[in-house]
Amino acid sequence: MKSRQKKESIILCDTNHVLSSDYSEVIVVGAGADAVDYKLISICHRGDIVVSQDYGVAAMALGKNAYAIHQSGKWYTNENIDQMLMERHLNKKARRASGKKHLRGPRKRTSEDDEHFRESFEKMIHMAMDKEN
């Protein structure tokens, strides 16, 4: 019988933020462009679950056979990531062509958003654990 080792939870942030956590290890990296993203991918392993709103980070996590989920609860998969990256590219191209540099940010997060993420995240954890066995 394979023994199950406890996986730790890690939160990454750059030096522009101050975070503390009672349940996770907090790793602080330099404030350079994409420094947190590159650190995340460098410590990511097969079977890990990555929470990110960045499609590029999700694609790199999937490339390492990890799981990736958006903060909305949407799963990134090998079946949908290419289309998501293409849409991101086309949207960026359209913004550059129109001269718009700043778009309105996302709407404020609601308790329903939190509940949807929780349900989707728990489902992903169970699926990952089932595949591990």
Beta bridge partners, 49, equal 67
Question: Which stretch of 37-46, 47-56, 102-111, 123-132 has the lowest confidence by average pLDDT?
Answer: 102-111
Distance of CA 91 to the CA centre of its chain: 20
Instruction: Of 9, 44, 10, 51, give the one whose Cα is nearest residue 27.
Output: 10
Q: Taking the model in full, what pTM does it have?
A: 0.81
Cβ atoms of 59 and 81 within 8 Å: the answer is yes
pLDDT digits (tens, 9 = 90+) for 33-91: 899 999 999 999 999 999 999 999 999 999 999 999 999 999 999 999 999 999 888 88
